[in-house]
A = this chain, B = another copy of it.
């Protein structure tokens, strides 16, 4: 690891580029400016593209006819560091410990996107040239929903024309195991409000005569699943594509004990999920209906003998091929209306949604990525899906018409979004090699 690389990493990490907090807008902007300077310094033409929110950093080399064009996407904004008291060192004052750099954004996404920048830097230094036409698109709003990225893609659609997108914002299945993620789940949100009386009622004076919205909501939510973890909404699974045989076989061979790891990571008393499926299938290839939040009535200390006037629940569904968010939300609404207990009213509000993603890891770009990963890590490549959602990947497909290679460098213990986020320097190094290898493979691909 060159000293200048570590210096760059620390400089990048010292910006508290917290996109969700308006108090930090200036620091977010400073971070973007630093990136422009860095990208210019390594020989690219870099610019800040203003948006109604935080700016997008866009950098290119000199494009030439007849070369393949690659777009590398990343983000320079980070999650807030709270709760601060759980950090062992200040979140924006990076420290190196046993080969790991601890700081907010170390993995998500500064370490990962920087390894691509440093990979390009090394190639430029070695050859004064890149083997491909390159775009860096590094946004500042990923942690708040990428609200302005779609518009940027639409506006610059022709200039951004490319053959493939590379993203390092996913995970490695285990340390030293290069990982290509070829699938993501989608997400669709729905909020429920069950209302009874116009005000909280005295549960002595009125208890028994009118419905309790918290009880009605519990009864309603209890209809979402059977006790085997199967979702009970009529038609919910109609479009779910079964896992392909090669996937089931490949996942069995992954070098992890996923059951033990999930138990350890979560501290849950037991695994629990849809009967008839393995843990990986449940997370990567089966849809879910989760209650993200529920609330109503008195939640403080002690007792307050009220019948709440209303109770709310926030739901999200994780979707898999070939479910469509709009159809799932419509089915869910129909189910909830049908199962509403007596004596209350129900209001439902659909929230954001993002589609699932599935690409063929054995198409020519996928094969190139596998070769590059194998070369950079000198180890067998794991082919996985992920349970999370990265809606922008579908934007790349829909707006630019290209597939995305998800070449994650995040380790299972990286604590992205949590206190003591960290990134191993060996992954920064591996990322640099991976960037060079993947550019080379994509350039020479027939």
Residues of chain A having any CB pair with chain B under 8 Å: 185, 187, 189, 195-199, 201-212, 214-215, 217-222, 224-225, 227, 262, 265-274, 279, 282-283, 286, 288, 290-300, 302-308, 311-314, 316, 318, 341-345, 351-352, 386-389, 417-418
CB distance from A240 to the nearest CB of B (A): 13
CB-nearest residue of chain B to A339: B227
CB distance from A35 to the nearest CB of B (A): 27
CB-nearest residue of chain B to A286: B208
CB-nearest residue of chain B to A280: B209
Check if A293 sits within 8 Å of B298, measured CB to CB: yes
Check if B267 sits within 8 Å of A197, measured CB to CB: yes
Check if A189 sits within 8 Å of B303, measured CB to CB: yes
Check if A271 sits within 8 Å of B204, measured CB to CB: no
CB distance from A277 to the nearest CB of B (A): 8
Which of B199, B294, B388 contacts A295, CB < 8 Å?
A: B294
Which of B282, B283, B291, B299 contacts A212, CB < 8 Å?
A: B291
Residues on B with C-beta less than 8 A from A307 are 290, 292
What's the Cα separation between A299 and B307 when bound, in Å? 19
Residues on B with C-beta less than 8 A from A209 are 262, 266, 271-273, 279, 282-283
Counting chain B CB atoms within 10 Å of each CB, which of A185, A198, A266 scores highest? A266
What's the Cα separation between A267 and B200 when bound, in Å? 11
What's the Cα separation between A248 and B262 when bound, in Å? 59
Residues on B with C-beta less than 8 A from A305 are 187, 290, 292, 316
CB distance from A231 to the nearest CB of B (A): 10
CB distance from A418 to the nearest CB of B (A): 8
Known interface pairs A207-B318, A208-B318; 15 further A-B residue pairs with C-beta atoms within 8 A, sorted by A's residue number: A197-B268, A205-B386, A205-B388, A208-B282, A209-B279, A211-B268, A211-B272, A214-B221, A218-B221, A269-B344, A290-B307, A292-B303, A292-B307, A295-B295, A303-B352
What's the Cα separation between A386 and B205 when bound, in Å? 7
Residues on B with C-beta less than 8 A from A212 are 290-291
What's the Cα separation between A279 and B211 when bound, in Å? 12
Check if A292 sits within 8 Å of B199, measured CB to CB: no
CB distance from A291 to the nearest CB of B (A): 4
CB-nearest residue of chain B to A302: B351
Residues on B with C-beta less than 8 A from A314 are 297-299, 303-304
Check if B343 sits within 8 Å of A288, measured CB to CB: no
CB-nearest residue of chain B to A223: B222
What's the Cα separation between A215 and B262 when bound, in Å? 19
CB-nearest residue of chain B to A390: B204
Residues on B with C-beta less than 8 A from A344 are 269, 272
Check if B283 sits within 8 Å of A206, measured CB to CB: yes
Instruction: List, sorted by A's number, 24 A–B pairs whose CB atoms are closer than 8 Å.
Output: A202-B417, A206-B265, A206-B266, A206-B387, A207-B318, A208-B273, A208-B318, A208-B387, A209-B282, A210-B268, A210-B272, A211-B272, A214-B291, A218-B219, A218-B220, A218-B291, A270-B342, A272-B342, A292-B303, A293-B299, A293-B300, A294-B295, A295-B295, A304-B314
What's the Cα separation between A36 and B196 when bound, in Å? 45
What's the Cα separation between A271 and B344 when bound, in Å? 9
Residues on B with C-beta less than 8 A from A286 are 208
Check if B224 sits within 8 Å of A204, measured CB to CB: no
CB-nearest residue of chain B to A387: B204
Residues on B with C-beta less than 8 A from A204 are 185, 187, 318, 386-389
Check if B214 sits within 8 Å of A294, measured CB to CB: yes
Counting chain B CB atoms within 10 Å of each CB, which of A206, A224, A299, A306 scores highest? A206
What's the Cα separation between A56 and B47 when bound, in Å? 76
Check if B268 sits within 8 Å of A203, measured CB to CB: no
Residues on B with C-beta less than 8 A from A198 are 266-268
Residues on B with C-beta less than 8 A from A185 are 204
CB-nearest residue of chain B to A353: B303
What's the Cα separation between A383 and B197 when bound, in Å? 27
Check if B296 sits within 8 Å of A294, measured CB to CB: yes
